[in-house]
Amino acid sequence: MLEIKDLHVDLEEEEKTILKGVDLTVDAGKVHAIMGPNGSGKSTLSYVLSGRDGYEVTAGSATLAGEDILEMEPEERAAAGLFLAFQYPVEIPGVGNMTFLRTALNAQRKARGEEEMSATDFLKLVREKGKELQIDADMLKRPVNVGFSGGEKKRNEILQMAVLEPRMCILDETDSGLDVDAMKLVAQGVNALRDAGRGFLVITHYQRLLDHIKPDVVHIMADGRIVKTGGPELALEVENNGYADILAEVA
């Protein structure tokens, strides 16, 4: 599904190299987790894949279902089925949550040559998905993320994911700022979307999210590279011993 090969990325403004050769393949139906200490390049990877400005790819490639995504505009990547759940969802005063989501869904459908969804069908869909995530009508009416608590923002991300039905989901520290109950709710939302045709890349600092979203593969990232790959037990090792042992081992 997602294939990243030898990806090298610099910051445009500072001439600083962040990713120094990332290799990673996520197959459809699988959940991969990336763990790693602060500054290892995890969030940069998610931004580069989703097309944020400010990064320069100096070498390597990233493809989604065989298509080169690095040449695409952010909206083209979304239409191709890539979704980034933001670590810090952006507040957009003046744009209603429903208007935003419907515009996004129909823009993606249009880009794929599909028919736009009617207002009635859309309302039904959002209400149904919102209910599972305990997102009420009031939250849907408010401007995008404005006045939302940390938990509400993250639930809103998962709602967008559920409505847009991407085939590759990247979750960037979706657990940050969540209490245990909110984390369970978010994890349930993600698990409900697990599907043979969909891949997940879950970026996190902590093992606890992975108690709720069980990964198939765990990668450890350090200094801009994947330094170790293993099964779920690797996350437990991090939880118990920290990163120091692993980093020492691969150094």
Query: Which of 53, 115, 138, 181 is the binder for other proteins (CB under 8 A)?
Result: 53
The site for other proteins, by CB under 8 A, has a size of: 32
Binding to other proteins (CB under 8 A): which residues in 225-244? Answer: none
Helix ranges (H only) for 119-243 are 119-132, 137-141, 150-164, 180-193, 208-212, 233-241
Q: Give the one residue of 11, 27, 39, 52 binding other proteins; rule: CB under 8 A.
A: 52
State the sign of the Cα–Cα–Cα–Cα dihedral 16, 69, 105, 87. Answer: negative
Span near other proteins by CB under 8 A; candidates 69-77, 173-181, 201-209, 227-235: 69-77
Torsion of CA 177, 210, 39, 146, to 10 degrees: -30
CA distance 21 to 227: 11
- Supply the minimum distance, in Å, between the C-beta of residue 198 and other proteins: 17
**50 contacts other proteins (rule: CB under 8 A):** yes
Residue 51 CB contacts under 8 Å (≥ 6 apart), including other chains? 69, 72, 73, 74, 77
120-159 mask for other proteins (x: CB under 8 A)? -----------------------xx---------------
What crossing angle do the helices spanning 119-132 and 97-111 adopt, rounded to 10°? Answer: 110
Q: Could you give the string, one character per residue 81-110, with x where binding to other proteins holds by CB under 8 A and - elsewhere? A: ---x-x--xxxxxxx---xxx-xxx-xx--
CB of 149 to other proteins, least distance (A): 18
Q: Report, in Å, the least distance between residue 135 CB and other proteins.
A: 16
Distance CA 18, CA 47 (A): 12
Instruction: Please tell me the number of Cα atoms within 13 Å of 70 on its side-chain side.
Output: 17
Residues that bind other proteins (CB under 8 A): 50-53, 73-75, 77-79, 84, 86, 89-95, 99-101, 103-105, 107-108, 111, 143-144, 160, 164
